[in-house]
């Protein structure tokens, strides 16, 4: 497959792996709204669902394929004919269809999930890819639990599925087990030991059980992967998947070091995060990187003073770049005079005409009582001040 060597493919699986979260199921119209927003965001591939899992999921893949035409539309299957037939049928209106099939690759899965042998599983993997190739040109193979798989066996499996026609090979750290160095070394091992690896794109798919999904994905990219699988807000099974906004902003912030570009319109990241959070009933934690409520909020006096002198003292990303109007200076008992002055001026007060020290002492007394001082509180404080002066 020909591709720009600097392009990093963004494969969004919010509608499949993300939607597996209990209580987050979406209707077909909701999936279409999110699919259209993902298209506008600029993702390269949308994993639209797992068609065999339910009639509703099947229908969502059909309807999404009809209206979302720019990205590749992908459907998940297990490595069996029934699943693959169903996915091929669901994708029949897709302009650029991809079947994503696969099977377990760790001894744990081979023994306790499939009660099988390495040899039999390898054969099944290659057969599934060959079968899917009858329906679509673009077939992605996932080696489930590759994070815990033996590298030599994994390399044999990957070589066999590429020989069978896989265009993309996905190396999931299904259980979020690996350390970044281990995961990166696994990708490098495949790059160096799979003879036909240059005929396919290596994809990283990391889960966040140890909070390492983004770090592991970046490590995979630094070692040869050219597609990253991720979800908006990092939603997904258990502790979730790699967060799209984190990996995209890490690539952008460290472009000089990593050298990869994406087609993502980063200004859409925050609006899409809010939309997905609302529709999937999954609140975003306040300190979530990039899109959390506090991601661009400064609350301690030292940081507030620094950021008011120069934004970049405490911000490595311009909030406007991710669709957030501006950073926030939160007034609390940890704030200093500079932050108080900033907010008073914003509310129209002329600082030379008030005694800032005295106002600051009154502000601190109030802030010790309340957790956060809002505009109303400040206006009241200044009203009181006028009366006492
Ligand atoms: O985590 C995983 O291994 C998966 C595969 C089905 C791609 O989601
Ligand atoms: Zn997954």
Question: Three-state SS across 41-100?
Answer: HCCCEEEEECHHHCHHHHHHHHHHHHHCCCCEEEEECCCCHHHHHHHHHHCCCCCCEEEE
Which ligand sits nearest to residue 230's alpha carbon?
2
Mean pLDDT of 269-279: 98
Q: Which residue has the higher pLDDT, 387 or 253?
A: 253
Could you tell me the pLDDT band of residue 354, with boundaries at 50, 70 and 90? confident
pLDDT value, residue 389: 45
pLDDT value, residue 140: 99
Mean pLDDT of 215-236: 98
Mean pLDDT of the chain: 96
Q: What is the pLDDT of residues 289-309, one digit of tens each?
A: 999 999 999 999 999 999 999
Distance 207 CA to ligand 2 centre (A): 6
Residue 216 among known ligand-binding residues: no
Task: Give the CA count within 13 Å in the CB-facing half-sphere of 87.
Answer: 33
Beta carbon of 142 within 6 Å of any ligand 1 atom = yes
Please list the helix, strand and coil fractions of the chain in percent, rounded to the nearest 5, in that order: 50, 15, 35
Residue 17 among known ligand-binding residues: yes
Residue 357 among known ligand-binding residues: no
Task: Give the CA count within 13 Å in the CB-facing half-sphere of 162.
Answer: 21
Distance 176 CA to ligand 1 centre (A): 11
Beta bridge partners of 46: 12, 73
CA dist 338 → 205, 301, 314 (Å): 45, 8, 15
What percentage of residues in the chain have a pLDDT greater than 70? 98
Contact (CB, 8 A) for 178 and 218: no
Q: CA 182, CA 188: separation in Å to the nearest integer?
A: 10
Nearest CA to 60 among 42, 75, 40?
75
pLDDT value, residue 16: 98
pLDDT value, residue 353: 73
ipTM: 0.99
Index of the ligand 1 atom closest to the CA of residue 142: 7
pLDDT value, residue 357: 93
Beta carbon of 183 within 6 Å of any ligand 1 atom = no
Question: Is the pLDDT assigned to residue 3 strictly greater than 80?
Answer: no
Angle between the 375-388 and 337-346 helix axes, to the nearest 10 degrees?
A: 90
Contact (CB, 8 A) for 97 and 72: yes
Nearest CA to 254 among 214, 212, 304, 202?
214
Q: CA 158, CA 169: separation in Å to the nearest integer?
A: 7
Question: Is the pLDDT assigned to residue 385 strictly greater than 80?
Answer: no
Strand stretches in the chain, DSSP E: 9-12, 45-49, 72-76, 97-104, 138-144, 168-173, 201-206, 227-230, 297-298, 328-329
Index of the ligand 1 atom closest to the CA of residue 100: 7
pLDDT value, residue 386: 56
Could you tell me the pLDDT band of residue 185, with boundaries at 50, 70 and 90? very high
Counting ligand 1 atoms within 8 A of each CB, the residue from 76, 78, 238 with the most, and so the one to mutate, is: 76
Question: Is the pLDDT assigned to residue 173 strictly greater than 90?
Answer: yes
Which ligand sits nearest to residue 145's alpha carbon?
1
pLDDT value, residue 315: 97
CA 245 to chain centre: 5
Distance 177 CA to ligand 1 centre (A): 13
Q: Which residue has the higher pLDDT, 345 or 353?
A: 345
CA-nearest residue for atom 7, ligand 1, is: 142
Could you tell me the pLDDT band of residue 2, with boundaries at 50, 70 and 90? low
What percentage of residues in the chain have a pLDDT greater than 90? 95
Mean pLDDT of 194-217: 98
CA dist 58 → 2, 30, 36, 77, 236 (Å): 31, 14, 18, 12, 20
Neighbours of 109 (CB within 10 A): 20
Distance 142 CA to ligand 1 centre (A): 7
pLDDT value, residue 352: 78
Instruction: Count, in order, helices (H) and strands (E) of the chain.
Output: 15, 10
Which ligand sits nearest to residue 236's alpha carbon?
2
Q: What is the pLDDT of residues 30-40, one digit of tens each?
A: 999 999 999 99
CA dist 270 → 12, 213, 255, 375 (Å): 16, 20, 21, 25
Q: What are phi and psi of 103, to 5 degrees?
A: -160, 165
CA-nearest residue for atom 8, ligand 1, is: 17
Index of the ligand 1 atom closest to the CA of residue 145: 3
Contact (CB, 8 A) for 360 and 335: no
pLDDT value, residue 5: 87
């Amino acid at each position: 497959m020909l591709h720009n060597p600097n392009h990093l493919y963004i494969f969004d699986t919010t509608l499949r792996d993300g939607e597996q979260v209990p209580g987050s199921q979406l209707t077909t119209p909701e999936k279409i709204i999110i699919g259209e927003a993902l298209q506008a965001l600029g993702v390269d591939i949308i994993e639209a669902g797992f068609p065999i899992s339910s009639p509703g999921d099947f229908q969502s893949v059909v309807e999404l394929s009809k209206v979302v035409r720019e990205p590749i539309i992908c459907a998940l299957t297990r490595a069996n004919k029934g699943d693959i037939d169903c996915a091929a049928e669901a994708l029949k209106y897709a302009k650029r269809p991809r079947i994503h099939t696969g099977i377990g690759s760790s001894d744990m899965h081979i023994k306790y999930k499939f009660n099988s042998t390495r040899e039999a599983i390898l054969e099944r993997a290659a057969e599934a890819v060959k079968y899917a190739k009858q329906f679509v040109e673009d077939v992605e193979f996932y080696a489930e639990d590759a994070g815990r798989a033996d590298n030599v066996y994994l390399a044999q499996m990957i070589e066999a599925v590429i020989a069978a026609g896989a265009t993309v090979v996905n190396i999931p750290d299904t259980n979020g087990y690996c350390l970044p160095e281990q995961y990166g070394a696994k990708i490098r091992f495949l790059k160096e030991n799979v003879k036909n690896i240059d005929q396919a794109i290596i994809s990283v798919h990391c889960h966040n059980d140890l909070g390492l999904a983004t770090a592991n994905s970046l490590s995979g990219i630094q070692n040869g992967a050219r597609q990253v699988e991720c979800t908006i807000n990092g939603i997904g099974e258990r502790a979730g998947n790699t967060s799209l906004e984190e990996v995209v902003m890490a690539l952008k912030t460290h472009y000089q070091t990593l050298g990869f570009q994406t087609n993502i319109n980063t200004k859409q990241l925050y609006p899409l995060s809010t939309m997905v959070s609302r529709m999937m009933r999954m609140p975003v934690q306040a300190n979530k990187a990039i899109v959390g409520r506090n991601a661009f909020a400064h609350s301690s006096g030292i940081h507030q003073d620094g950021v008011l002198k120069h934004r970049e003292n405490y911000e490595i990303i311009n909030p406007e770049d991710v669709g957030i109007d501006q950073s926030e200076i939160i007034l609390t008992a940890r704030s200093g005079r500079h932050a108080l002055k900033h907010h008073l001026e914003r509310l129209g007060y002329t600082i030379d005409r008030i005694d800032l020290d005295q106002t600051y002492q009154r502000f601190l007394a109030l802030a010790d009582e309340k957790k956060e001082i809002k505009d109303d509180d400040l206006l009241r404080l200044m009203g009181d001040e006028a009366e006492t002066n």
